Chains A and B, each alone.
Chain A
Amino acid sequence: AQKVTQAQTEISVVEKEDVTLDCVYETRDTTYYLFWYKQPPSGELVFLIRRNSFDEQNEISGRYSWNFQKSTSSFNFTITASQVVDSAVYFCALSEERPGTASKLTFGTGTRLQVTL
């Protein structure tokens, strides 16, 4: 069975600090996908990134970066120079490859990030 663990329930930082959100996953499949979603206070879920299990390259998008390490089953998310607008709940999720049917997402319990001035 799949499992995603986000051990950090809440993190508070001051604006301009860097912050890393941890994600550890469990799966028996060799082909799988990892995701990060952002849920701002308004409540919607915003897709941030998708990474497949064969691509361990780290990715950077502006102030956001992701570190995927299969050896430790981790897919961590770093925000550089955090801003108040980054305040949200962030979810890590995992899906397994299921050709011919829909792939189910397993979510972690989320990390609430509070960025203050």
Chain B
Amino acid sequence: DADVTQTPRNRITKTGKRIMLECSQTKGHDRMYWYRQDPGLGLRLIYYSFDVKDINKGEISDGYSVSRQAQAKFSLSLESAIPNQTALYFCATSGPQLAGVSTDTQYFGPGTRLTVL
């Protein structure tokens, strides 16, 4: 089984609809992230969370919200989707290794392709 899973993998929705993208991880990491990828722009950070009590805005948080329901779950919501939110969304996790040494290397889920019509 994959260490970082995202659901759904693909979603088509209409302008104005509320959408939730979910991310779960079995890596035991405490840090989780949401990015979006647009052609030619690389990946840009939307929100990140150090642990369940810590939520931080990233570079492009407007129009998005997040919820850290548990250490292993981090959801991204689009309250009222608009067409320019059409993108590939990635969840990532990072955290200390089992030996207790922090590497903070981020490992990514498979991505969710969202289309807003």
Chain A residues packing against B (C-beta within 8 Å): 9, 33, 35, 37, 43-45, 47, 50, 91, 95, 100-105, 107-110
In this complex, the interface size class of chain B, counting residues with CB under 8 Å from chain A, is 20 to 34
Q: Which residues of the partner chain B approach A105 to less than 8 Å between Cβ atoms?
A: 33, 43, 45, 92, 106
Residue of B44, B90, B106, B111 with most partner-chain A CB within 10 A: B106
B48-A104 in contact (CB<8A): yes
Closest Cβ of chain B: how far from A99's Cβ, in Å?
A: 9
Dominant secondary structure at the A interface: loop
Closest Cβ of chain B: how far from A96's Cβ, in Å?
A: 10
Q: Which residues of the partner chain B approach A101 to less than 8 Å between Cβ atoms?
A: 50, 54, 56
Residue of A44, A100, A104, A105 with most partner-chain B CB within 10 A: A105
Residues A35 and B90 in contact in the complex (CB < 8 Å), given A101-B54, A102-B31, A102-B49: no
